[in-house]
Amino acid sequence: MTLTHEGESYPGTIAADGTFATTPVPVVVGSDTHTLTIGGRFSTTGFNGIVTAEVTRSGGPTCGYVVNWVATRRDGVNVIPG
């Protein structure tokens, strides 16, 4: 599967129980590189996910941040085979 947000694509895998994980994707913002990894779980009505970022700065220390995503499907339902 591929999640897309703000024009960036995050390829990953989804398990039969609805859990998913993406591979790390580097996103360059100015002189900083934010390497983003997303993991979470789809439900029948949307998904919850955690975005973990590692930021490397040109000539500076590495830092990071975590963002919680909650998405609600507008219509229909997700089919979770698990």
Domain boundaries, the chain: 2-72
Distance of alpha carbon 35 from alpha carbon 79, whole angstroms: 30
Average pLDDT, 10 consecutive residues per value, the chain (82 residues): 90 95 95 95 94 89 93 89 70
Distance of alpha carbon 7 from alpha carbon 64, whole angstroms: 21
Q: Which residues pair with 25 in a beta bridge?
A: 36
2-72 has which CATH code? 2.20.130
pTM: 0.84
3-state secondary structure 40-77: EEEECCEEEEEEEEEEEECCCCCEEEEEEEEEECCCCC
